[in-house]
Structure 1
Amino acid sequence: MKLKIVFALFFISTLSGFSQEFSKPVDFLTFINKEQELIAKSTWKYTSAVAHSKSARRIDATRKQLIKSIQSSKKKITDIKNGYNGDTEYQTKIVQYLDFCEKSINEEYDKIINMQEVAEQSYDAMEAYLMMRDLVNKKIDEENDKAELAFKEFALKYNITITNQESELSKKIAISGKVFDYHTALYLIFFKTNITDLNLSLAIEKKDLGAIQQNASALLLYAEEGLEKIKAIQPYSNDSSMLTATKKCLEFYKKEAETFVPKIVDFYMFNEKFENARKSMENKSAKDRTKEEIDSYNGMVKQVNKEIENYNKMNSANFQEKSTVVNTWNSTGDNFISKHVPAN
């Protein structure tokens, strides 16, 4: 979540208050800027809720509050008659900007939320969801840059001196954007293996040897690719927790593909061989069964019981290790965002 509805600019002169009768251009500019500061505060509340709250209701409530804040400020700015002494160019550009922000947060984010519901079904769906989210954020950033340019042009037009000092609020929003970007980069690496492992588990459940081997090969490939990618990623602000958690997951998936899956395949192949032998024995009458066949079958019965016991132990151990690394990754990701996105 990276909304940048905030100007990183301050006026040199400060005003205690005024009506919409603007005697000076700086009054007009300050009035609009104060409305945008209110929107920025609502934006920050939404960003902070996403970072620090587990409540979907609270997050959506802050999003709706942000929309109301935009609507309220847009109305106040729209209601200004004749802009500043008949010059409505800056006023019009800001209203257009706020229109765009309202539509994006209200409509486009609804689309993103709908995409999020199916995103975890496949890597392509997750990638499409993240690309859509980033595209909306990029468009908002581009429109923000246009509005900021209009701000500077109005100031220059009326010889208003401004400073480029960044506000504390804009710093927080900028920091949050970097934190979410960092988390997303590692999440995609993790998710690519995680969703492949899910497909592998489904194939194992169905005892589909072809699908098992296909997904295991893909899992090994993605795990090795991921391990190479994270070598180029530096810790965030000396915090390597996300890198460590991601590496452990990738190492587990690599080990699973290389050691666990071959044993699963061997077990299913032996089990298939045993089932064929059982059916062969059942299809013969007792008098037609040779001593060698009986001895061979009885030996397979003992072996299959042992193999089943080994399989259950191996499967349980694999599941427990997987649960540990995945749960650790999820908790590490939550803690990372909570730690690095300012709380207030």
Structure 2
Amino acid sequence: MKTFLTAFVFFLIATLSNAQEFKTPVDYLNYIDKETDIISKSTWKYTTTVAHTKNARRIDANRKSLIKSIQNATKKIEALKDGYKGDVEYRDQLLAYLSISEKQINQEYEKIIDMQEVAEQSYDEMEAYIMTRDLVNKKINEEIEKLNANQKIFANKYNIQIGEDTSELGKKMKLSNEVFENQTQLYLIFFKVNYTESVLSKAIESNDISAIQQNSNALEQYSNEGMEKLKTFKPFKNDMSLVLATKKVLEFTKKEALELAPTTVSFMMLNQKFQESKKVIDNKSASSRTKEEIDNFNKLVNEVNNEVGNYNKTINEFNVNRSNTINNWNVTSENFIAKYVPID
């Protein structure tokens, strides 16, 4: 006999039963174990779909299939009026777990989906989304602990030995849990600088010097904070691929804050000075322009012409590096999940 439930990062395993008489308590638990497999397989199908596809319709279809499995199990267990020869404590705990699991996977998941749609609008939104997702998992895990404790009470009452879950499916779920948690920690580091960098890019596009300075300071700070976190981060199975990809992102964003932002501000201020000088010149007739004004304006024209080529070259180089660095992180992340979360 094994422990039925293993905590999982998304939505968890359930244990089930059916309405019938059982000769022995072992028969009772074995039947529950058999029903558990139905939920376990639905859970795993949902999990592996999340890990290996971005097809939202397919993911949601498997989520609904998981909910249906829980609902079917609930009906069977509710029909088990007497539990095992009148002992209904474990049955009632199981029903409570199934009810909470269905609610979390159904209602709370809908909230998470809504949050996910706006999560990328800010780091705070993304952090809130992940915290809410983790809270849902925590609630289910707490119920699993209660259920497992109640299972042991039942087993001890009837002198049944309960062992750890050593099934292949249980191992897969435990492994997947660790993989997703590891990836999530690095994703938050990545997202914080990536989001701030995107805000900085918008400020550059709109020629907002104040916003450029503000966001470049924040970007440098977040890049340094990310580097410090990487120093103590423990990679899954010592796989440094995603850690190194994250480090490359942090190195790029810090360089952007320290080099691109000041270069951009300097060029914008030069161009702003040129536009002001041009306005003064244009507002005067040719005869009223002084030699000093003309000389200063021509000097600014030369400076702008000399700098514009260098500036455009710098912008293009950073754009290419940005694209390559972000794409590298995304691909590495997908490969990391695909490598360690089994497909079947």
TM class by shorter chain equals: over 0.9
Does the Cα contact within 8 Å between 1:32 and 1:77 map onto a contact in 2?
Answer: no
In structure 1, give the amino acid aligned to 2:294: I
- SS of 1:237's partner is helix
2:23 alignment counterpart: 23
Alpha-carbon deviation of 1:92?
1.0
1:15 alignment counterpart: none
The yes-or-no answer on 1:4 pairing with 2:26 is no
2:242 alignment counterpart: 242
1:196 alignment counterpart: 196
- SS of 2:183's partner is helix
Alpha-carbon distance between aligned partners in 1 of 2:14 and 2:237, rounded to the nearest angstrom: 24
In structure 2, give the amino acid aligned to 1:163: G
Does the Cα contact within 8 Å between 1:2 and 1:173 map onto a contact in 2?
Answer: no
Structure 1 residue runs of 5 or longer lacking an equivalent are 8-17
Say what the alpha-carbon RMSD is for the aligned residues.
Answer: 1.5
Alpha-carbon deviation of 1:247?
0.2
2:5 alignment counterpart: none
Alpha-carbon distance between aligned partners in 2 of 1:48 and 1:162, rounded to the nearest angstrom: 28
Alpha-carbon distance between aligned partners in 2 of 1:19 and 1:81, rounded to the nearest angstrom: 7
Alpha-carbon deviation of 1:213?
0.2
In structure 2, give the amino acid aligned to 1:266: S
Deviates more, 1:241-250 or 1:88-97: 88-97
Alpha-carbon distance between aligned partners in 2 of 1:233 and 1:134, rounded to the nearest angstrom: 19
1:114 alignment counterpart: 114
Alpha-carbon distance between aligned partners in 1 of 2:82 and 2:14, rounded to the nearest angstrom: 25
Deviates more, 1:43-52 or 1:30-39: 30-39
In structure 1, give the amino acid aligned to 2:195: I
Alpha-carbon distance between aligned partners in 2 of 1:131 and 1:19, rounded to the nearest angstrom: 39
Alpha-carbon distance between aligned partners in 2 of 1:146 and 1:179, rounded to the nearest angstrom: 25
Q: Percent identity?
A: 55
Does the Cα contact within 8 Å between 2:19 and 2:81 map onto a contact in 1?
Answer: no
The yes-or-no answer on 1:215 pairing with 2:215 is yes
Structure 2 residue runs of 5 or longer lacking an equivalent are 1-8
Following superposition of structure 1 onto structure 2, how do residues 214-293 of structure 1 map, counting pairs within 5 Å?
214-293=214-293
Q: Deviations over 1:258-284 (max 9, x none)?
A: 111110000000011001100110111
Alpha-carbon deviation of 1:54?
2.3
In structure 1, give the amino acid aligned to 2:179: V
Alpha-carbon deviation of 1:19?
7.5
Q: Number of residue pairs matched? A: 334
Alpha-carbon deviation of 1:159?
1.8
Does the Cα contact within 8 Å between 1:42 and 1:62 map onto a contact in 2?
Answer: yes
Alpha-carbon distance between aligned partners in 1 of 2:290 and 2:309, rounded to the nearest angstrom: 29
Deviates more, 1:309-318 or 1:324-333: 309-318
1:161 alignment counterpart: 161
In structure 2, give the amino acid aligned to 1:101: S
Does the Cα contact within 8 Å between 1:6 and 1:170 map onto a contact in 2?
Answer: no
CA distance change for structure 1 residues 165 and 177 in 2, over 3 Å: closer, same or farther? closer
Alpha-carbon deviation of 1:6?
5.3
Alpha-carbon distance between aligned partners in 2 of 1:54 and 1:84, rounded to the nearest angstrom: 44
Following superposition of structure 1 onto structure 2, how do residues 1-344 of structure 1 map, counting pairs within 5 Å?
1-5=9-13, 20-344=20-344
**Please, what TM-score do these two structures have when normalized by structure 1?**
0.94
- SS of 1:54's partner is coil
In structure 2, give the amino acid aligned to 1:234: K
Does the Cα contact within 8 Å between 1:2 and 1:176 map onto a contact in 2?
Answer: no
CA distance change for structure 1 residues 266 and 4 in 2, over 3 Å: closer, same or farther? same
In structure 2, give the amino acid aligned to 1:321: N
- SS of 1:299's partner is helix
Does the Cα contact within 8 Å between 2:19 and 2:77 map onto a contact in 1?
Answer: no
Alpha-carbon distance between aligned partners in 1 of 2:108 and 2:31, rounded to the nearest angstrom: 29
Does the Cα contact within 8 Å between 1:120 and 1:126 map onto a contact in 2?
Answer: yes
Alpha-carbon distance between aligned partners in 2 of 1:186 and 1:161, rounded to the nearest angstrom: 41
Q: Deviations over 1:50-81 (max 9, x none)?
A: 11112111111111111111111111111113
**Please, what TM-score do these two structures have when normalized by structure 2?**
0.94
